[in-house]
Amino acid sequence: MFKRAFLFIYLLVFLVMSYPVMSSDLFTEIDQNNNLRLGNDYIVIVVNKDENGQGRFAIETTGGAPFQDSDDNKPLVYGRPKPWTSYTTIWLNGDYYVFGGETGRRAGAAGKYGKVVQEPHVDNGSIITKTNIKDILLVEQILTIVKSSTTGLYDTVQIKYRIENIDNKPHKIGLRIVLDTMLGENDGAPFRIGNDAVTTDTIYYQKQLPQFWQAFDSLSNPSVTSQGTFTGPGVTPPDQVKLADWGSMADGVWDFDFNPGEIFLRKGEYEIDSAIAMYWVPEYLQPGESRSYITNYGLGGITIVPGLLSLGITSPAEVILDSPDKSIPVIAYVENTSEITAKDVRISIDLPATLKTEKISHNLGDLESGEIAQIIWNVYPSGTDIPARTSYTVKVEAENTDSNQVIREIKFIGPPDLSAYLQVKEDISVINGRLSPNPFTIEAILINKGGSPLYDTAIELLLPPGLVPAPMEKGVKYPGDIQAGEELVVRWRVEALNIEGQLPVAVFIEALHGFQDIKTYENLVLPELNPVLYFELQKAGDLMAGDYITIDIRGENLDEIDLIDLYIKYNPEALEAIHVSRGTIFLKDGKYLPWTRPDLSKEGIIRINQLVPLEARSGTIGTIHFKVIDPENIELEWDQQTNFIFNRGEVEVILNELKLNLGGGLK
C-alpha cells in the first residue's frame, strides 16, 4: 500500500513539474478597485493605479500549483483590495525617497517622494512604473512573471528596479524592498532559510544567504508554498536581509525598530504579521549610468510524500552547468505527523555518481509530535560527463516510526551563449546632395544560442565622431532577459553629421553575472556629398497665364565654396522675372548678411553673384519670383557661364535643372 501511494504521489509531482506553460500566456485587466493586473494560470501581479500609493504592488495566485486547489486565489503579498503595505525605498545621498505616488497611510508615510512620470502600464509582458526623484534619478519599477527556480513554471514575479543617474554629477544610491508576505490567511508562517525556521527578528548578510527561502503553513498538507530568491541566476543578491514584523518596517523607511529574537508581533498592535526587508547598500552611480536591483518572489516547489514522518525535498528544477564549483542546494523538510515523539530521526541523501556532497547523513535527534525539522545539502557536479537529467533520493527514518523517502529530478542546462551582429536596415543614397534616409536605422540582432537565459541585458551603441543618436533616441537599450533560443532585434535611429566614407560602429553588451561582449560593424559606408544646386518650385498645381510662381534656388554642402556666380536661363516668352530675394543662408540670428542685388537686366538671364557666408552649408541661396506668360513652355536651366570659387582645391558641383508643364510639378 505504501509503495503504491508513494508512486502515485511522485508521478503527480512529476506531472506538476512538467505541466506546460508559456510566459506569453498572459492576461491584462483593470479590476473594480482600479488596480492593474497582469497574470497567467498560476499567478497575478496587482499594481495600484490610484494617485495615493501609485505603483505599489501585491502578488496573488490565480490557479496556483496545478492539481492543488487549496492555493487558488490566495495572497502571497498582502494587497486587498488595494496594494499599499509593501513598498520600496531609494537611498539618495542620505535621504530616503519612497518609490511611486505619495501616501498618507502608515507604510512609508515618513519618507520623501519623487514624481511619478509614467503611470503603471503593461509593456512587453511587464508592468512598468517610472518615478523621477529631484531630476537626479529616474527610477523604473519592472514587474514580470518568470519561471520559479524550483517548480520550473511561470509562477514567480521578477521584481526589478532600474535606477539611472540623469544628473551631471555622481550620487550615492541604495535600495530597500519591503514585502508584506502572506500565505493565504496565514500572516506569520516561519521563513525557512537554509537550516533555519525563522519566527523572530533576524538579520542575514550576503555571505549567509542561501539561493532561496521558502514558507508554508503545513508540510503534510500545505495550502500555499511561497518562495523568494536571494542569489543565483537572474537576481542581484541583497547585501543584507532583515526579517521582522511589518509594523516596524512600515514606520521606518530605511532603518526601523529591529530587536533580534523578538517575535513578529506587529508594532503597536497584537497580531503576528511578518515581513521581509532586502537591502542593497548605497554605492556611487556616475552620471548617465544605471544600475539594476532584482529579486524574485512567487510559488515554491516541494516534492512531498506524506507519512508518519512527512518528507518534502526541494532543489532547483534546472541547474546551469557552467562551473563545477557552483553548489546546488537540496533542502529537506521533515514533519512528525504522528501523535508520539519520533526517536533518533536520521536523514540521508543518495546521489548518483555525477553528484557529490560532503556529508551524506544527518542526525535530526528526536522530533516532537507536529515538529518540523529542516536540513540543507550543498551538492556539486562530479566529473564532466553530466547527463541532461538526473535524480536523487532522500530518505528519513526513526527508531519508532515508519521510514519515508522522496525522489526528485534535476535538469542540467548549458550557460547562455549570445550571438550578435549589426546591420544597417535601409539602403543609404544621396538625393539632392543629402543622405537619404537620414536619420537611418542600425539594428543589432541578438540570438541566445545557449541553454539558459541571459539576464537583465543592456546594450549600448558606440558611434564614431560624425554619427549621433537621432533626437529622442537613447544610446543604451534594455532588452531585459533573453531566453534560451530567443532572437530579438534592437534598433537605433542614427543621424550623420557632415561625414562620409567607411565608418566603424559597435555595440557593448552587458548582462548579469559578469557577462560582457563587444560586437563591431565595419560595413557602414556613407557616400560622398558633393555641392548640389537645384531649383524647387514653391507652388504646385495647374498654372495659368497671369499666375505668379516662386522658385527657390537651394544649395547643399556649400562649405567648400567661397563664391557662387550663377547664370540662370529662362524662356522670356513663358516667364517674366520680377524679383530675386535673398535666401536663408544670408540670415544669421535673425539678422541679414551681405547680399548683392542679382542682375535681371538681360532678358532670359538672371545672374546671382554672391560670397557664400562662412557658416553656410545648406539652405536657400535665393528665391526667384516670376509671372507666368505661357505655362506650357516654362523651362529653367543653368547657363554654361555659371562658375564657382572654392576655398580648398576644386570640387565637383552638381547642377540639377527644373522643367515645368501646365500640370505643374516636376517633369
pLDDT in tens, 599-624: 999 999 999 999 999 888 899 999 99
pLDDT averaged over every residue in the chain:
92
Tell me whether residue 330 is in a domain. Answer: yes
Domain of 451, in residue numbers: 418-526
Tell me whether residue 60 is in a domain. Answer: no
Residue 486: phi and psi, rounded to 5, are -80, 145
Residue of 272, 297, 258, 256 lying closest to 108 (CA atoms): 256
Residue where a domain stops, chosen among 495, 526, 557: 526
Residues 106 and 235 in one domain: yes
Answer yes or no: are the C-beta atoms of 181 and 76 closer than 8 Å: yes
Q: Hey, which of 133-147, 185-199, 318-332 has the most confident mean pLDDT?
A: 133-147
- CATH number, residue 610: 2.60.40.680
Q: Is the pLDDT of residue 7 over 60?
A: no
Tell me whether residue 587 is in a domain. Answer: yes
* Percent of the chain whose pLDDT exceeds 70: 95
* Residue 184 pLDDT: 66
* Residue 662 pLDDT: 43
Residues 145 and 217 in one domain: yes
CA 499 to chain centre: 33
Q: Is the pLDDT of residue 282 over 80?
A: yes
Return all residues near 339 (Cβ < 8 A) that are at least 6 apart.
369
The 8-class DSSP code of residue 470 comes to: P
* Residue 253 pLDDT: 97
Residues 335 and 443 in one domain: no
The 8-class DSSP code of residue 423 comes to: E
* Residue 651 pLDDT: 79
Q: How many CB atoms lie within 10 A of CB 274?
A: 28
Tell me whether residue 497 is in a domain. Answer: yes
Task: Please name every residue paired with 61 in a beta bridge, in sequence order, or none if there are none.
Answer: 43
DSSP helix/strand/coil, 206: helix
Average pLDDT of the segment spanning 382-400 = 94
- CATH number, residue 371: 2.60.40.10
* Total domains present in the chain: 4
Alpha-carbon distance of 85 to 250, in angstroms, equals: 7
* Residue 590 pLDDT: 87
Tell me whether residue 373 is in a domain. Answer: yes
Residue where a domain stops, chosen among 299, 320, 335: 299
Cis peptide, bond prior to residue 75, ω within 30 of zero? no
* Residue 155 pLDDT: 97
DSSP helix/strand/coil, 405: strand
Residues 399 and 448 in one domain: no
Dihedral of alpha carbons 179, 180, 186, 192, sign: positive
Residue 539's pLDDT band, with cuts at 50, 70 and 90, is low
Residue 352's pLDDT band, with cuts at 50, 70 and 90, is very high
Residue of 324, 327, 344, 328 lying closest to 336 (CA atoms): 344
DSSP 538-567: S--S---TT-EEEEEEEEESGGGEEEEEEE
* Residue 9 pLDDT: 38
Q: Which three cell numbers stand for residue 58?
A: 501585491
CA 608 to chain centre: 57
Residue 665's pLDDT band, with cuts at 50, 70 and 90, is very low
Residues 459 and 513 in one domain: yes
Alpha-carbon distance of 437 to 196, in angstroms, equals: 63
CA 164 to chain centre: 12
Return all residues near 193 (Cβ < 8 A) that are at least 6 apart.
204, 209, 210, 213
Q: Is the pLDDT of residue 473 over 80?
A: yes
Residue 324's pLDDT band, with cuts at 50, 70 and 90, is confident
Tell me whether residue 352 is in a domain. Answer: yes
Residues 260 and 392 in one domain: no
* Residue 374 pLDDT: 96
Residues 101 and 208 in one domain: yes
Residue 83's pLDDT band, with cuts at 50, 70 and 90, is very high
Which ranges constitute the DSSP H helices of 390-431?
none
Taking the CA atoms of the chain, what radius of gyration do you get in angstroms?
Answer: 35
Q: Is the pLDDT of residue 393 over 90?
A: yes
Tell me whether residue 185 is in a domain. Answer: yes
Tell me whether residue 48 is in a domain. Answer: no
Residues 252 and 215 in one domain: yes
Average pLDDT of the segment spanning 363-391 = 94
Q: Which three cell numbers stand for residue 579?
A: 524679383
- The letter for the amino acid at 495 is E
Alpha-carbon distance of 224 to 609, in angstroms, equals: 87
* Residue 15 pLDDT: 33
Residue where a domain stops, chosen among 481, 499, 526: 526
Residues 285 and 319 in one domain: no
DSSP 172-185: EEEEEEEE-B-BTT
Residues 393 and 510 in one domain: no
Percentage helix, strand, coil for the chain under 3-state DSSP, each rounded to 5? 5, 50, 45
Residue 187's pLDDT band, with cuts at 50, 70 and 90, is confident
Average pLDDT of the segment spanning 433-462 = 96
Average pLDDT of the segment spanning 424-443 = 94
Residue 564's pLDDT band, with cuts at 50, 70 and 90, is very high
Q: Which residue has the higher pLDDT, 37 or 382?
A: 37
Residues 538 and 642 in one domain: yes
Average pLDDT of the segment spanning 192-211 = 96
Task: Please name every residue paired with 56 in a beta bridge, in sequence order, or none if there are none.
Answer: none
Residue 368: phi and psi, rounded to 5, are -70, 160
Structure confidence by residue, pLDDT tens digits, 39-81: 999 999 999 999 999 999 999 999 999 988 889 999 999 999 9
Q: Which three cell numbers stand for residue 415?
A: 550557460
Residue of 494, 491, 504, 425 lying closest to 459 (CA atoms): 491
Average pLDDT of the segment spanning 171-180 = 98
DSSP helix/strand/coil, 391: strand
- CATH number, residue 186: 2.70.98
Alpha-carbon distance of 358 to 349, in angstroms, equals: 11
Residues 556 and 626 in one domain: yes
